[in-house]
Structure 1
Amino acid sequence: MREKPTLRIPLGILALLVALAAYALAVMWASQWIEQTPVAVQTVVYLVLGVVWLLPLRRFLIWMETGRWG
């Protein structure tokens, strides 16, 4: 249990929301080129883009809780 509260969790949540919004906007911007590809390619691209944002999430959540990156 933490001895005293820190600002890591509220600031981390705000940073996560900002980063996810920026990522979603980037995917929306890239969709103008993605839509010109065949449907099978679009499916793979959107599946990858839908999962890739999860990769750094574990370490970020650990940092929010402990202050360490791992």
Structure 2
Amino acid sequence: MPVRLRKFIGTIVLVVLVLAYAVLANTIAVATLGDAPWWEQLLYFLLTGLLWVVPAMVLIKWMAGPKQR
């Protein structure tokens, strides 16, 4: 698959991933953290704010294509 096509597909998937992840993380937070102390909320949003990086990193590596020799 050409690198340009990989980047196009990857960009669309990345935008959808980030939007869906943000909606899901906030929906879970609203449903479960309403009466939680501030430190639980901080920990939750810190972890969920960093967790999306893992699938995004894999996707970006795939977008770059095979290593050039």
Unmatched 5+ residue regions in structure 1? Answer: none
Distance, in Å, in 1 between the alignment partners of 2:29 and 2:43 is: 13
Unmatched 5+ residue regions in structure 2? Answer: none
Normalised to the residue count of structure 2, the TM-score between the two structures is 0.80
> Identity of paired residues, percent?
25
- Higher relative CO (CA 8 A, sep ≥ 6), structure 1 or 2? 2
| Structure with higher helix content | 2
Normalised to the residue count of structure 1, the TM-score between the two structures is 0.79
Across the aligned residues of Structure 1 and Structure 2, the Cα RMSD in angstroms comes to 1.9
- Deviation beyond 4 Å, 4+ runs, structure 1: none
